[in-house]
Amino acid sequence: QVQLVESGGGLVQPGGSLRLSCAASGSRFSIMSMGWYRQAPGKQRDLVARITSGGSTNYADSVKGRFTISRDNAKNTGYLQMNSLKPEDTAVYYCGLSLGAIIYWGKGTPVTVSS
């Protein structure tokens, strides 16, 4: 069964950086798409970035040029490098793995950007 554990969140000043990690269990990580999503209080959960099994990436307009998604299939781990952080990036960040109509979620890691 697929289990996901996010880590790396915390408190950071505007303009700072964080790297989130998503450690996955299971044998099919390499053929699944991975996405990072975020949910701020009172708002819906939105896609931040996505990477396919082949390495193709896409990003929400709000994070383009600042965030980079990557994956290391040998380690069953995905990453989200976040630079030039803004207060509006504050949210709980979730890792998701998908294959077809199936999606698996982690429990999330909170990110707070504040001076």
Distance of CA 30 to the CA centre of its chain: 16
Read off the tokens for 48. Answer: 């931040």
List, for residues 32-52, the tens digit of each pLDDT value. Answer: 999 999 999 999 999 999 999
Nearest to 104 by CA among 34, 21, 44: 34
Residue 7 is encoded by which pair of tokens? 């880590």
Q: What is the pLDDT of residues 66-92, one digit of tens each?
A: 999 999 999 999 999 999 999 999 999
Structure confidence at residue 1 (pLDDT): 77
Residue 4 pLDDT exceeds 80: yes
Q: What is the pLDDT of residue 48?
A: 98
- Residue 110, strand partner residues: 92
Q: pLDDT > 70: what percent of the chain?
A: 100
